[in-house]
Amino acid sequence: MKKFFYVLIIFCFSFFLFCEEIPVPKEWKFAATPFTAKNDSAVSISASFPLLVMEKLSDIGVHILSKEEIKAYNEYQRKEIINKLSDSLNAKLAERDELLFSSDFFSRWNDRVKKNREIEEIRKKITDVDLLQDVNLDKVNMVLYKDNDSLPFLDTSSGIRKAMENNGVVFLISGQITVDEQYAVIDVSLYHFYLDSYIFSKRYAKKLEELDYLADDVAYDIASVFLGAVPASIRIKTDKNTAIYIDDKAVGIGEAYLYFLIPGQHRLALEARNKKRLVRDVVLKEGENTDIELIIEDESRRTIRIVSNPEAASVFVDGIFYGKTPCNVDVYSSSVIELRKDGYSSIYLSAANLGDKIDISFANPNIDWQKRVIEKRNKFYTSFGLFFLSLPVTVISYGLWEDSYTAYHAANQSLASNADDYYSKMNYAAGAYYGGLFLNTAFFVMTVYNLNDYLKSLDKL
């Protein structure tokens, strides 16, 4: 019976222990290398052309991930974790072997027991790598790589993959340029670190005086790869002192032109001093070029004093929390004021119809307190039941720890070969015990809180 409870406890805590995720990437970097000049005439533009392409791509904000990329990323991270653990395991094995030359037998034996325990823990971690949950993202932020000279060029003298790994670069743009009779022929490739392959390759040709247009074409095609769709562009024009935001990111003042946006809905916002913030949702289609001209209309702003009965009601102006009554709020004639108070229906007011001070009384609450008391009581019973059911975990795990502790010391004193087994069981039981204490405490606090809430609701009957 004791073995059954031991296995049950270890299984439960192992489940919570290994339900971790592979590190979620905060951002992926993209970089370039100076293009290879295939003849002397191409040397002059071998660095300037990729620099021009990277400048046009600098506004790329996100990369839409494919299933193949997510799978490759997870596999790479697992291999990295295993490699680090393997290095640590080899170091521990070497340290254990060195103990064979120790002259003190008892010290040598104790140290080897500790090393064996550490080695087994590392081996278990290696085995449990497969239990880590996969990262499952649909997109990741993109950041332009810059070297010490603030250029987007990656030094690949140590090898492409080594350089990308050391600098956290996931995408690398490279190419070859040939110039012949005032025409430039450029082969462009895009390498993916996690897929370990080139995911884009194309040849371009234009006159030398049209290199800027050629850079537009290259940037457009690579942006399509990053976004997983043909990018949309938008040109926004407004007053010269008005700040422009797209999806909460500042993009310009007075005028902004964004070339590479993900098709779909975006939030456009305009802000100007002493004017109400203007927000619009804009839907962009694949390959669409959209021109928008918006101006924030002048609108006077004034201050209103709000008092309520009962007090401490939450005040919201156009959905933004201002404070609790009594308070002063700044409003426009088009603003909508909302007052919220627990147990009462919310009150909505139009600022255009209000004076400089308003006194609001909430209607008598229409609450079924009998039903509310039953809900509070059920919450108390549930939390108390969870607290009561969590107690055996702590009691049983403590008993297991005590048995393992006694057996370990007995085996250690008699130099028994199974001392490590008892030590491992003792550690598992200790983990289960402290985990049980944590659950006991959490459920106890929840029970006390719900009991207090239940008793308060009784006073309302």
Residue with tokens 């290199």: 211
Share of the chain above pLDDT 90, in %: 39
Residue 110's pLDDT band, with cuts at 50, 70 and 90, is: confident
Q: Is pLDDT at 333 greater than 90 in this prediction?
A: no
**Contact between residue 190 and residue 173 where contact means Cβ atoms under 8 Å apart:** yes
In this predicted structure, the answer to whether residue 314 has a pLDDT above a threshold of 50 is yes
The predicted pLDDT at position 445 comes to 92
- Stretch 439-453: mean pLDDT, rounded? 90
Contact assessment for residue 13 and residue 152, using Cβ atoms and an 8 Å cutoff: no
User: 110 vs 282, which has greater pLDDT?
Assistant: 282
Q: Output the pLDDT for position 365.
A: 61
Q: Does pLDDT of 417 surpass 60? A: yes
Q: How far apart are CA 259 and CA 269, in angstroms?
A: 18
Task: CATH number for 2-65+137-227: choose from 3.30.930.10, 3.90.190.10, 3.40.50.10070, 1.20.1070.10.
Answer: 3.40.50.10070
Asked if the model's pLDDT at residue 4 lies above 50, the reply is no
Separation CA 15–CA 252 (nearest Å): 50
Band of pLDDT at residue 128, cut at 50, 70 and 90: confident
Quick one: pLDDT at residue 55? 92
Alpha carbon 441 to its chain's center: 30
pLDDT of residue 114: 84
Specify the pLDDT at position 369: 66
Question: Taking a C-beta distance cutoff of 8 angstroms, is the pair 146, 6 a contact?
Answer: no
List Cβ neighbours of 44 (8 Å cut-off, separation of 6 or more): none
Task: State phi, psi for 264 to the nearest 5 degrees.
Answer: 135, -160
Spell out the domain ranges in the chain: 2-65+137-227, 77-131, 232-293, 301-361, 369-458
Q: Is the pLDDT of residue 334 over 50?
A: yes
Of 380, 382, 377, 331, nearest to 357 by C-alpha is 331
66/372: higher pLDDT: 66
> Are residues 242 and 270 in contact, defined by beta-carbon separation less than 8 angstroms?
yes
- In this prediction, residue 59 has a pLDDT band, given cuts at 50, 70 and 90, of confident
Q: Which two tokens stand for residue 85?
A: 């653990």
Looking at residue 326, what DSSP letter applies? Answer: S
The predicted pLDDT at position 143 comes to 92
Q: Is the pLDDT of residue 90 over 60?
A: yes
pLDDT at 367: 62
* Over residues 357-362, mean pLDDT: 87
- Cα gap 181→41, rounded to integer Å: 9
Residue 8 has pLDDT above 50, yes or no: no
Mean pLDDT computed over 87-105:
80
The pLDDT of residue 11: 43
Q: Two tokens at 2? A: 């004791």
Closest to 192 in 3D by CA, of 214, 220, 207, 170: 170
Provide the pLDDT confidence category of residue 6 given band limits of 50, 70 and 90.
Answer: very low
- Reported as a single tens digit per residue, the pLDDT across 21-46 is 688 888 999 999 999 999 998 999 99
Buried b (16+ CB within 10 A) or exposed e, 36-70: ebbeebbeebbbebbbbbbebbebbbbbebeeebb
CA distance 26 to 225: 20
Q: What is the pLDDT averaged over residues 178-207?
A: 93
Range ranked top by mean pLDDT from 81-85, 197-201, 378-382, 427-431: 197-201
Task: Let me know if domain 232-293 sits in CATH 3.60.10.10.
Answer: no
pLDDT at res. 103: 67
Q: What's the whole-number mean pLDDT along residues 162-188?
A: 93
Rounded mean pLDDT, 249-265: 89
419 or 7, greater pLDDT:
419
What pLDDT is stored for residue 441 in this prediction?
92
Tell me what the mean pLDDT of segment 313-341 comes to: 88
In this predicted structure, the answer to whether residue 72 has a pLDDT above a threshold of 90 is yes
Mean pLDDT across 142-161: 92
Residue type, 390: S
Q: How confident is the model at residue 5 (pLDDT cuts 50, 70, 90)?
A: very low
Taking the alpha carbons of 405, 407, 411, 413 in that order, is the dihedral positive or negative? Answer: positive
Local structure of residue 146 (DSSP, 8 states):
-
Using the predicted structure, report yes or no on whether residue 12 has a pLDDT greater than 60: no
Mean pLDDT lowest among 149-158, 241-250, 372-381, 413-422? 413-422
Share of the chain above pLDDT 70, in %: 91
How much is the pTM? 0.60
| pLDDT band at residue 19 under the 50/70/90 scheme | very low
φ and ψ of 433, to 5 deg: -65, -50
DSSP 84: H
190/175 Cα distance (integer angstroms)? 9
Helix (H) or strand (E) holding 249: strand 249-253
Q: Distance between CA atoms of 344 and 363, rounded to whole angstroms? A: 7
Q: What is the pLDDT of residue 30?
A: 96
Q: Which of 113-117, 224-228, 261-265, 278-282 has the lowest mean pLDDT?
A: 113-117
> Average pLDDT of 266-279?
84
Please give the Cα distance from 350 to 317 (Å, whole number). Answer: 10
Sheet holding 278-284, edge to edge: 249-253, 243-246, 264-271, 278-284
Task: Look at residue 164 in the predicted model and tell me its pLDDT.
Answer: 94
